[in-house]
Amino acid sequence: MPRVLRYFGKSDELLAGEHVLPDLDVELLQDIFMVEASNPMYDSFPVGEKQAKLLALLSPFNFDFEKFDYFLEYDEKS
């Protein structure tokens, strides 16, 4: 399923960018975000530093938590 990391500026809350993730198993994402197996993860999920470290291993990306808030989102267009 197409997943994307979207990030928003902390100062203005505007979309600053996005990073398309490779096709990842929903079971892996459920483990990373600690959601139940029945959740298909179509919603937006905030990404914390713990999740960021694991996601960066799967798809290289430089997180900057001082400047941005990050969210994992389902994107049927990707």
CATH number of the domain that residue 52 is part of: 3.10.50.20
pLDDT of residue 20: 93
Q: In which domain, by residue range, is 25 found?
A: 3-74
pLDDT of residue 13: 94
Cα 40–Cα 41–Cα 44 angle in degrees, nearest 5: 155
> Is residue 8 a contact partner of residue 15, using CB atoms and an 8 Å limit?
yes
pLDDT of residue 2: 87
Low-confidence spans in the chain with pLDDT less than 50? 78
Q: What is the pTM of this model?
A: 0.91
| Total count of domains within the chain | 1
